[in-house]
Structure 1
Amino acid sequence: MNFALIISVLLILIIIWLVLDFNLGRRKHTSLVSRTETAILHGNFEIFTHGRELFIDYFHAIRDAKKHVHVLFYIVKDDAVSREFFSLLKEKALAGVEVRLLVDPVGSWKVTKAAVEELREAGVEFSFSNPIRPPYLFYSSQVRNHRKITIIDGMIGYLGGFNIGKEYIDEDPVLSPWRDYHLKITGESVNFLQSEFFIDWQEATSKGLQGNPDYFPVRPQGVIRHQFIPTAAGHLEEFFIRLMGQADQSIIIGSPYFIPSKKLFGALLAALQRGIDITVIVPYTADHLLVQEASYRYLRRLIKEGAAVYQYKNGFYHAKTIVIDDKICDIGTANFDKRSLFLNKEINCYIYDPAFIERLKGIINKDIGDSVLLSLEVLNKRNISRSVKECIAGAISYFL
C-alpha cells in the first residue's frame, strides 16, 4: 500500500512538473518571439515534387558553389544518401568554400558524433539548433526547428518539405514513392532566406554573421510576387486563419498531418458556411503513430459539412500547401497541425503569381487523381481499435 502511494505521489508530481514546465516555457518563448512577414518580394521559382529530381539539382548546385553554402534541415538520417550529402559538404569545405550545417537535434538524432567530428575536421561549421535546455526541459524538448532551407553563394535558395534520407528518394519500401513539394528560388528574396538562416545560426552558436556584405550579392529581381512568413511560438495559427478568411471560392489544403487548432478549424467551418469549396489531401498510409487517428474527428466534421477529403495512395504524401482561389498559394515547411502551429519553427512562402498557381493546381490535380475520396461511411464504420486510438490521439494531439 505504501509503495502504491509513493508511486501515485510521484506520478502526480511528474504531471504537475510537466504542466508547469510546458506552460511557463511557452509563456517565456511567446514573449521573446515577434510576428514577422516580409514585404512583397520578386523572384523566380522552380518546383520539385520528387526527391530524385530535387537532389540531382540540389547536389549539383552545391558542387558549383564558389563562396558559401548554408544549410538547415530538420532531419538528416544515417544512411547512404546522408553520407553522400556529408561527403559533398566536406569536399566543398576542403576546397575553401565556407560551409555551415545546422540541424535539429531531435529530428536528426541519427547523426553520429563521429560524423560530426569528420565534418568539423574537414572545415564544415556544424551545430545543432534548438537544444534541450533548462529550466524548461520538457517545453524545450518539444520546440523543434522544422525549417528546411539552403542558401548557396547568396544566389540560390531551396525551401520545402524534403529532408535528407533514403525515404525522400523513394528507397523506403513502405513509404515510396515519396510525394513532396520543394522550391528552388532565385532573385532578391534569397536575401531573406540568408538572413533567417543567420538568425537561427546565431541562436544556436552565439556567432553573428549578418555584417558581411558578401553574403548578400546584387542579383536580378525576378518576376514572381511572393513573401516569406517565418513563424514560431504560435504565430502560424494567425496567418493560416487569415488565409482562410481571404477565400472567395475555394480552399485546397495538402498536408501529411491534419490536426488543426480549435480556432483554425472554426475558420474552415466558417468558410464552408459561406459557400467556399474546401478540398483536403492527406496520406492514405501514415508514417507516424496516431497522427491519422488524430485527424479523423476533424475530417468527419468537414465531410459532413460538404468538404471533399482525399487520401493519397501513390506512396506517401508529405506535401505542405494551401491554395486560396486562384490568387494565393502557400508552400513551405509547416504542416496543418498543432505542432507546426504552436511548437515548431517553420517558414512558408506565399506566392501571388497566377501562372505559378495554375501550375501548382495542375500538380495538385495529379495528386487528387492518385487519391481515393474518403467517405463518412468509411470513417464511421465500427472499429474498436481505431476508436481507442482516436481517444488516445485526441488527448495528446498537441504533441503529435
Structure 2
Amino acid sequence: MSLSSITQNISYIVLLANLILAIGVIFFERRNVGVTWAWLMVLLFLPVVGFPLYLLFGQNLSRLKMYKIKKETEERFRGIIERQRKQFRQHKLVYNDETAAEYDDLIYMNLSSAMSLYTQDNDVRIFTEGTSKFEALLGELETAKHHIHLMYYIVHDDGIGRKLLDCLARKAAEGVAVRFLYDPVGSHRLHSRFFEPLERAGGEVAAFFPSRIPYLNFRVNYRNHRKMAIIDGKVGYIGGINVGDEYLGLVARYGFWRDTHLRLQGSAVKQMQSQFLLDWNLASGRMFEGDPYFPNFTGDGEVGMQIVSSGPDQEMEQIKNGYIRMIHLAKESVWIQTPYFIPDESLLNAIRLAALSGVDVKIMIPAEPDHKMVYWASRSYLGDLLSLGVHCLLYGKGFLHAKALVIDGKAATVGTANFDIRSFKLNFESNAFIFDRGVAEQLKRTFEEDMAFCRELTEEEHLNRPRLHKIRESVTRLLSPIL
C-alpha cells in the first residue's frame, strides 16, 4: 500500500471519528446550544486536532457523582436544609434587616437548588486590595488553635507565597492541623517542592484534578477556581484574591490590582467549611469529617447571607441562576464588576430586561486585558448593550479583578465567579450572597469610588471601531462558549 493511500485512510478514520463524536455531542451530551455549535465547529473544521481537543476540554462531568460524604452526615445536613425550607414556606423567619424580606424567593431558591443555608449572625469586612487582606489573614493565621484550611486557584513561589508558607509551616509545627488545596493548572508555574517545608512540619497538601500523565490531563478544563481560607471553623475569607505578588500590586505588568475579598465571622463559615471538606476529600482521597471542624458557636454580627457553590458536576448553574434572579429583582440599579464579561443568553436577557425597564445598569471591566481573546469577546457583548442605555465602564487605574454584583444598594454577591460561561459551566466556584443594606451600600460606595478611574465606552465609539476590532470581536464571540 502506497504512502498516499495510508494517509488517505488515516484521514478517513479521523473524519469518521470526528463525525461520530459530533453526533454524540448533538444527541447525547444535552449541552447548551451555543456550546454545542462551538464544539461542532471545532470538530468539523479542525478534524485533525478537534478530537484530542474535545477529549481534553469537552468532557461533561455533570453525570458523575464525584463528591462522597458519609450517609449519616448527608442525612443530617439534608434535615437542617428541610427544616429551614419549612420555615420559609410557613413565613416564620424573622429577618435582622427587614429589606432582606424583599429577596425571600431568591434566598429560598439558593436554599433549594444549592443547599445553601441562610444565616444572619455574620460579621463582614470588605477588602478592596491584596495588601490589607493578607495582613489580616496572616495575623489571624498566627492565632489559629485547631486547624487552618486554605484553598486557592493560583499560588506563586514569590514574596507573599513564601511568607504564607512560612507561617503555615510554623503553625503546623505547633500542632495546628494545616491543609492546603491548590489547583495545579492555575498554579502551573509552581514547583512541587514548594510545599515541602509545610509537609515536613506535618501539614497536608493536595492538588485538585492533577495530571496523572505528564503533560496530559483529561480534566484540564475543569478547574477549582475557589479562593477560601478557614481558621478554626469560625473565621473565613472568600473572594477574588489568590496568592501572588501581583495581587499586592507588585507586578509591573498589572500595576495596581483592584479586587474584592471578604472576611466573614459567623455561621456562614460553616458552609464554607463544608465545601472545603468536600473538595479536600475529592482531591486528596483522604476523607475526614467531624464536629471539631464545625464548632458550636453563634457569631456576633447581624448580616444575613448564603454561601452558594456551583461546578461542572452539577446540572444546575446555581451561581448564574442567583445572578439572574438578583437582576430580575432589581428596581433601581444593577452594578456589576468583573474582569471577564461573557454572559450566556439567559444572563444577557436578564440584563437587557433590566435596562429596558429603566433600571440603572452599569458594568465595569478592565481597560487593559490579561487575556486578549476573552477581552475582545467581552467588548462584543458590551457593545450589544450600549443601545439599551447600559453604561459600560473601563477601569484604568490598574487591573480590575473584582467579582461583585450590587442591586439597589440592598443586596449583593461577592465571590470567585466571573460573569462568564467558564465560571458558570466549567469552574468550581463559590460566592457569598449578602442580604444586608449596610454591606450592599458599602460595596456600592466602593463602585462609585472606582468610577473615578474609569472612562465610559460610548455607543458612538463602539460603532466607529476599526474593522480589525470587529473581526476580533466576531471570532472570539463565536468561540466564547468554550473559551
Match of 1:312 among 383, 388, 395: 395
Q: Report the CA distance between 1:238 and its aligned residue.
A: 2.0
Q: What residue in structure 2 maps to residue 264 of structure 1? A: 347
Residue pair 1:247, 1:325 contacting (<8 A) in 2 also: yes
Q: 1:139 to 1:253 in 2, by over 3 A?
A: farther
Q: What residue in structure 2 maps to residue 191 of structure 1? A: 270
Matches within 5 A, 1:229-308: 229-233=308-312, 234-308=317-391
- What are the Cα deviations for residues 214-269 of structure 1, in whole angstroms up to 9, with x where unaligned? 54242435211111111112333322222221112211111000110111111111
Give 1:379's aligned amino acid.
Answer: H
Q: What residue in structure 2 maps to residue 324 of structure 1? A: 407
Q: What residue in structure 2 maps to residue 41 of structure 1? A: 119
Q: 1:294 to 1:100 in 2, by over 3 A?
A: same
SS of 2:219's equivalent in the other structure is helix
Matches within 5 A, 1:1-400: 2=4, 5=8, 10=14, 12=47, 14-16=49-51, 18-19=53-54, 25-29=60-64, 35-42=113-120, 43-132=122-211, 140-233=219-312, 234-400=317-483
> Matched residues in 1 for 2:265 and 2:283: separation?
26
Q: Which ranges of structure 1 fall in alignment gaps of 5 or more residues?
A: none
SS of 1:290's equivalent in the other structure is helix
- What are the Cα deviations for residues 62-93 of structure 1, in whole angstroms up to 9, with x where unaligned? 11212211000010012122111111111111
> Matched residues in 1 for 2:423 and 2:240: separation?
13
- What are the Cα deviations for residues 116-158 of structure 1, in whole angstroms up to 9, with x where unaligned? 3332122110000133579xx8762111111101001112110
Residue pair 2:380, 2:474 contacting (<8 A) in 1 also: no
TM-score normalized with structure 1 length? 0.92
SS of 1:207's equivalent in the other structure is coil
- What are the Cα deviations for residues 165-210 of structure 1, in whole angstroms up to 9, with x where unaligned? 0100011112121001100010122111111110110111122222
Number of aligned residue pairs: 398
Residue pair 2:56, 2:220 contacting (<8 A) in 1 also: no
Q: 1:297 to 1:32 in 2, by over 3 A?
A: farther
Q: Report the CA distance between 1:18 and its aligned residue.
A: 4.1
Q: Report the CA distance between 1:350 and its aligned residue.
A: 1.0
Residue pair 2:57, 2:220 contacting (<8 A) in 1 also: no
Give 2:369's aligned amino acid.
Answer: A
> Matched residues in 1 for 2:240 and 2:116: separation?
21
Residue pair 1:103, 1:129 contacting (<8 A) in 2 also: yes
Q: Report the CA distance between 1:359 and its aligned residue.
A: 1.2
Residue pair 2:308, 2:318 contacting (<8 A) in 1 also: no
Residue pair 1:69, 1:99 contacting (<8 A) in 2 also: yes
Residue pair 2:366, 2:394 contacting (<8 A) in 1 also: yes
Residue pair 1:161, 1:182 contacting (<8 A) in 2 also: yes
Residue pair 1:37, 1:227 contacting (<8 A) in 2 also: no
Give 1:388's aligned amino acid.
Answer: I
> Matched residues in 2 for 1:67 and 1:327: separation?
36
> Matched residues in 2 for 1:197 and 1:181: separation?
20
Residue pair 2:181, 2:207 contacting (<8 A) in 1 also: yes
- What are the Cα deviations for residues 250-298 of structure 1, in whole angstroms up to 9, with x where unaligned? 1111100011011111111122222222111111011112121011221
Q: 1:86 to 1:212 in 2, by over 3 A?
A: same
Give 2:223's aligned amino acid.
Answer: R
> Matched residues in 1 for 2:396 and 2:390: separation?
19
SS of 1:366's equivalent in the other structure is helix
SS of 1:81's equivalent in the other structure is helix
| Greater mean deviation of Cα atoms: 89-98 or 26-35 | 26-35
Residue pair 2:376, 2:473 contacting (<8 A) in 1 also: yes
Structure 1 or 2, whichever has the larger Rg, is 2
Q: Report the CA distance between 1:30 and its aligned residue.
A: 8.6
Q: 1:200 to 1:49 in 2, by over 3 A?
A: same
Q: What residue in structure 1 maps to residue 80 of structure 2? A: none
Residue pair 2:309, 2:430 contacting (<8 A) in 1 also: yes
Residue pair 2:310, 2:318 contacting (<8 A) in 1 also: yes
Q: Report the CA distance between 1:105 and its aligned residue.
A: 1.0
Give 1:111's aligned amino acid.
Answer: L
> Matched residues in 2 for 1:60 and 1:257: separation?
32
> Matched residues in 1 for 2:62 and 2:217: separation?
13
Q: 1:20 to 1:57 in 2, by over 3 A?
A: closer
> Matched residues in 1 for 2:474 and 2:242: separation?
31
